[in-house]
C-alpha cells in the first residue's frame, strides 16, 4: 500500500512537471508568434525607395532647402538659407568694396584727383596729397579680391553641403530601425570610493 502511494505520488509529480513544461512551451510559442507578427507588420510597412536620395539631392540642387522639405526636415530649411545667405552677403559686400577701390585706382591712373579717397580741404577743394596713395588703393583691391573669392568658395561649399545633407538624410531615413536594439549612456557610482563611472549600454532583445 505504501509502495502504491509512492508510485502514485511520483506519477502526479511527473504529470505536474509535464504540464508546467507544456505551459512554458506554449508561453514561448505565443511570444514568438507575437514577435513574428510584429516583424511581419514592420516588414509590410517598410518600403524602400532607391530613388529617394537622388530625388532629394536634385530638389536641393534646384532650390536650396527643397530637399530638406522633401525629407520632412523642415527645421533645417532656416539653417540652409541662413548659411547660404551669409555667404552671399559677404560676397556682395566684398565685391562692393573692391569696386570702390578699383574705380578710385583707375581714376588715379587716368590723372584725376576727384575720387573719394583723395580727400578735400575745408573749402571743398582737393588736397595737395591724397588720403590714400595709389599703393594703398592697390593693396585694398587685392585684400577685397581675396575676400570676395573666399566668400564665393564658402558659398559654393555651403550650397554643395545642402545637397549632400539632403541626399544622406534620405538614405538614413530608409534604415529600418528596430526597438530590439538600443544604445544609451549610463552612469553609476562606485560604492568604495564614490567616483562616478560613465559608459554606454548596448541592449539587444531576442
The C-alpha atoms of residue 154 and residue 84 are separated, in whole angstroms, by 9
CA distances from 132 to 55, 104, 111 (A): 54, 10, 15
Backbone dihedral angles phi then psi of residue 126, each to the nearest 5 degrees: -60, 140
Task: Please tell me the total count of domains within the chain.
Answer: 1
Residue 180 within a domain: no
Residue 199 lies in a domain: no
Let me know if residue 99 belongs to a domain.
Answer: yes
**Residue 128 falls within a domain, yes or no?**
yes
Distance, in Å, from the CA atom of 64 to the CA atom of 82, rounded to the nearest integer, reads: 11
49 alpha-carbon distance from chain centroid: 21
Assess if residue 129 is contained within a domain.
Answer: yes
Per-residue confidence (pLDDT) for residue 24, from 0 to 100: 44
Rg (CA), the chain: 38
In a domain, residue 169? The reply is yes
Nearest to 56 by CA among 69, 67, 48: 67
Domain-embedded: residue 181: no
Please answer whether residues 56 and 66 qualify as being in contact, where contact means their C-beta atoms are separated by less than 8 angstroms: no
**7 falls within a domain:** no
Question: What pLDDT does residue 202 have?
Answer: 62
Does the pTM surpass 0.85? The reply is no
Domain that holds residue 161: 47-175
Written as tens digits, the pLDDT of the chain (206 aa) is 444 444 454 444 445 445 444 444 455 455 665 655 555 544 445 567 777 889 999 999 999 999 999 999 999 999 999 999 999 999 999 999 999 999 999 999 998 888 888 877 777 777 778 888 899 999 999 999 999 999 999 999 999 999 999 999 998 887 655 555 566 776 677 777 777 776 766 665 65
Amino acid at each position: 500500500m505504501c509502495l502504491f502511494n509512492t508510485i502514485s505520488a511520483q506519477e502526479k509529480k511527473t504529470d505536474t512537471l509535464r504540464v508546467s513544461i507544456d505551459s512554458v512551451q506554449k508561453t514561448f510559442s505565443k511570444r514568438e508568434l507575437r514577435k513574428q507578427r510584429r516583424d511581419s507588420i514592420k516588414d509590410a510597412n517598410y518600403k524602400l525607395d532607391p530613388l529617394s536620395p537622388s530625388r532629394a539631392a536634385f530638389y536641393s540642387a534646384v532650390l536650396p532647402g527643397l530637399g530638406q522639405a522633401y525629407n520632412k526636415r523642415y527645421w533645417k530649411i532656416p539653417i540652409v538659407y541662413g548659411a547660404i545667405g551669409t555667404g552671399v552677403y559677404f560676397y556682395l559686400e566684398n565685391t562692393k568694396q573692391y569696386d570702390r577701390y578699383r574705380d578710385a585706382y583707375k581714376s588715379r591712373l587716368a590723372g584725376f584727383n576727384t575720387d573719394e579717397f583723395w580727400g578735400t580741404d575745408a573749402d571743398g577743394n582737393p588736397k595737395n596729397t591724397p588720403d590714400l596713395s595709389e599703393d594703398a588703393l592697390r593693396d585694398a583691391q587685392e585684400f577685397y579680391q581675396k575676400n570676395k573669392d573666399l566668400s564665393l568658395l564658402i558659398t559654393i561649399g555651403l550650397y554643395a553641403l545642402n545637397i549632400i545633407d539632403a541626399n544622406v538624410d534620405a538614405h538614413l531615413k530608409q534604415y529600418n530601425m528596430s526597438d530590439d536594439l538600443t544604445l544609451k549612456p549610463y552612469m553609476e557610482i562606485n560604492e568604495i570610493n564614490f567616483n562616478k563611472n560613465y559608459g554606454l549600454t548596448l541592449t539587444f532583445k531576442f
